[in-house]
Structure 1
Amino acid sequence: MRIGLVCPYSFDAPGGVQFHIRDLAEKFLELGHEVSVLAPADEDTPVPDYLVSVGGALPVRYNGSVARLSFGPVVAAKTRSWLAAGNFDVVHIHEPLAPSVGLIALMQSEAPVVATFHSAQLRSRAMQLGYPLARPGLERISARIAVSEDARRTIVEHMGGDAVVIPNGVYTQVFATAEPAERWRGTPQAPTIAFLGRLDEPRKGLAVLAAAAPAILDAHPGARFLIAGKGDMSEARQLLADRADALEELGPITDAEKASMLAATDLYVAPQLGGESFGIVLVEAMSAGASVVASDLPAFRRVLDDGGSGFLFTTGDPDSLASTIIGALADPAEMERRRAYARTAVRRFDWDRVAARILDVYAMVTEHQTAEPRSLLGRLFGRGEGR
């Protein structure tokens, strides 16, 4: 099958959506399909051979964060060329409402379109504003996928209709077989507690972890907090004052380093405040054998089976986070019981299963392909009249 995947967000600063698309493309290639990814990326950004860039991107506030998006006539022309050259059996667009290349591809594509929605914000101003503009194009979507029940509810709330829930995928065996990095391995006297995310994005919750750290250090004076990701963590250091040396700033880390860190750490903490539709890193941490402590967001509750495979604390509450971590470290047997449950539970997120379900959706839409009317908005976004 010839598959075209479209990413609205730039590969210059990759996040969960970009990683999802990258891994999906590589799984399809492994299975023998022809795959091409269309996405924004600057000229000097290293990208895989299967990715076609529409050029650089601009930072735009979108859905509670800052996203790097690409749009305009040059992007429309490059998208048209990519679609023509690919002659795809199916075009799979991620976050089609984002004002970027995905929306342009939706307007131009002659092939059946599958759309995946990642966002989970029941009161998304971006979706409220974008839906009326994009509605004629959205009628061209043959099948909708939501990465979680929370993302599905967002679709229902803002667009009507429904979507099949297919979770994000993870190469679980990569994390399960990762060699623990000795420099990040903890001990009963000096446990390691890891955080991974954009340090200067408030909703990722680093400030909550930093505020909880003093109480954790009172109970475990030798504890180390491994902080990985891009951004400035000066605010977190200020919250710890003279105990800031317990924070070990790792900066951006590679996928291999992430797997080694998660395999070595005692606890992985996800203190996010909201805007999460899934929680890939929770699955990665569970696969690697780390115990997980996460805020009780609905998406995280579902990934952790309501606490069956990890520990939950009250979102945004440093006292709750501190007591949860202290309680977990005080009960190694319970930590191991939940880790054992998690090792089995994560199998449902493995790419072998996830990719197979997505291919089933592709088969359905290609078997029921119908002609679609050309829309005015399609022409405005660069769709040619002779196509």
Structure 2
Amino acid sequence: MRIALVTEFYYPHLGGVTEHVHHLALELRRRGHEATVVTSNMTGQGEDPPFVRRLGTSRLVYSNGSFARITTGFGLMRRMTAVLRETGAEVVHLQDALAPTLGLVASSAAWRMGLPVVGTFHTWFRRSPGYWAFRRLLQPRLDRLDARIAVSRPVVQAMSKYFRAEFEIIPNGVNVEYFHPNGRRPSDALTSGPRLLFLGRLDPRNGLDTVLAAMPEILAAYPATQLTVVGDGPLRGYYQRKARSLGDRVRFAGAVFTERPDYYGTADLYLCPTTKASFGITLLEAMASGTPMIVSDITGFRELVDGGAEAVLVPKGDPAAWAGAAAALIGDPARRGTMGAAGLAKAARYAWPRVADRVLAVYERVKR
């Protein structure tokens, strides 16, 4: 089957949608399907895999406490139509199908060509002024999709505030061969110094300021603690200035791609202080790496953890609570070992072959 996966978010932009699209494409291609990722040109992009096609120029815009992307350029409809024809797409799969720009352009092009269109929705929000303002225009487009997928129940709940539709919940997946334990033992934190990891885009909603504010108390209990910050973004300079007083106890690694499994695997704790999320792909990556986690007690993470032993849920934006949780776990290697094992077991349930089976079933159902 020939599938066009259309997305505003792809490398070098790090985030959940990027990981979802890339690994879905890899799994589909591994099975012999011709999956093409259609995205836009971005500053800092490197050499793409042969299955990636780019058109237009991606622009960063601030939206809902984070930095989103929209594609601009002349002739986007014509160029999108050309890509769909050249790749022989039989199914067009959109990510966040109602958001500008590529989802709207690709759906219009696909409908003109008589192609089935699947939409996956990734975003959770308390409110959306854009959806409220344009809901009457967007509802017919949502109705016209041949299938609607949501990555979690919170996404369905958010979309239901403005739209009427039935969604099939298919979660994000994780590559359990790529992300895996690397041999670091829970006791190593007490013999060679605790290693804490933050991995994510450096934007307001990902909450790095909470971890930085917690570090003095963590260091008071365990002076050899090292926090590694993996990720980049417009606020990197701001966070680096906030971390100056912590000296060499905080290291900014910048944007990281292929080395991410090493960072997860060598961390004693993964800290995810995000203030808003629909699912939590980085949580799955940490689980697959056998790394115990402290994560924000928010809607998207609460559903994924669901009472599991792999993570401790802590109130968002509360540095004292984060410091207390981190210090307690650093001093309890046995519990961290139990958490890591629980994470490995849960990650196996979200392995990409399982998730791709369900996505392919949707493609088969809508294919004309």
Same-fold status (TM-score > 0.5): yes
Query: Quick check: 1:141 aligned with 2:145?
Result: yes
Q: Deviations over 1:101-160 (max 9, x none)?
A: 111111221211110000011312232234333333222201111111111212222212
Q: TM-score, normalised by structure 2?
A: 0.91
1:248 alignment partner in structure 2: 251
2:210 alignment partner in structure 1: 208
- Per the TM alignment, residue 71 of structure 1 is displaced from its structure 2 partner at its CA by 4.1
Q: Which of 164, 173, 176 is the equivalent residue of 2:177?
A: 173
Query: Quick check: 1:192 aligned with 2:216?
Result: no
Q: Deviations over 1:84-103 (max 9, x none)?
A: 23332211111111111111
Q: TM-score, normalised by structure 1?
A: 0.87
Correspondence 1:172-321 to 2 at 5 A: 172-176=176-180, 178=182, 186-188=189-191, 190-199=193-202, 201-231=203-233, 232-239=235-242, 242-255=245-258, 257-274=259-276, 276-321=277-322
1:125 alignment partner in structure 2: 129
Correspondence 1:336-355 to 2 at 5 A: 336-355=337-356
CA distance in 2, matches of 1:234, 1:214: 20
- Per the TM alignment, residue 238 of structure 1 is displaced from its structure 2 partner at its CA by 4.8
Q: Could you say what secondary structure the match of 1:221 adopts?
A: coil
Q: Deviations over 1:167-225 (max 9, x none)?
A: 11110122115576xxxx744461000001122x1111110000111111111111010
Q: Identify if the C-alpha distance between structure 1 residues 241 and 250 changes in structure 2 by more than 3 Å, giving closer, same or farther.
A: closer
Is the CA contact 1:6–1:92 (under 8 Å) kept in the aligned structure 2?
Answer: yes
1:16 alignment partner in structure 2: 16
CA distance in 1, matches of 2:360, 2:163: 24
1:40 alignment partner in structure 2: 40
Q: Could you say what secondary structure the match of 1:121 adopts?
A: coil
Q: Could you say what secondary structure the match of 1:138 adopts?
A: helix
Q: Could you say what secondary structure the match of 2:162 adopts?
A: helix
Specify the code of the residue in structure 1 equivalent to 2:333.
Answer: P
CA distance in 2, matches of 1:237, 1:230: 11
Q: Which of 162, 168, 172 is the equivalent residue of 2:166?
A: 162
Q: Could you say what secondary structure the match of 2:146 adopts?
A: strand
CA distance in 2, matches of 1:211, 1:44: 31
CA distance in 1, matches of 2:288, 2:7: 26
Query: Quick check: 1:150 aligned with 2:154?
Result: yes
Is the CA contact 2:291–2:343 (under 8 Å) kept in the aligned structure 1?
Answer: no
Is the CA contact 2:181–2:289 (under 8 Å) kept in the aligned structure 1?
Answer: yes
- Per the TM alignment, residue 286 of structure 1 is displaced from its structure 2 partner at its CA by 1.2
Q: Could you say what secondary structure the match of 2:123 adopts?
A: coil
- Per the TM alignment, residue 239 of structure 1 is displaced from its structure 2 partner at its CA by 4.4
Q: Identify if the C-alpha distance between structure 1 residues 240 and 86 changes in structure 2 by more than 3 Å, giving closer, same or farther.
A: closer
- 5+ unaligned residues in a row in structure 2: which ranges? none
Is the CA contact 2:270–2:294 (under 8 Å) kept in the aligned structure 1?
Answer: yes
1:82 alignment partner in structure 2: 83
Q: Identify if the C-alpha distance between structure 1 residues 343 and 313 changes in structure 2 by more than 3 Å, giving closer, same or farther.
A: same
Identity %: 33
Q: Deviations over 1:246-268 (max 9, x none)?
A: 1011111122x110111111000
Specify the code of the residue in structure 2 equivalent to 1:171.
Answer: N
Specify the code of the residue in structure 1 equivalent to 2:30.
Answer: E
Specify the code of the residue in structure 1 equivalent to 2:358.
Answer: R
Q: Deviations over 1:316-339 (max 9, x none)?
A: 111111111111122221221222
User: What number of residue pairs does the alignment pair up?
Assistant: 361
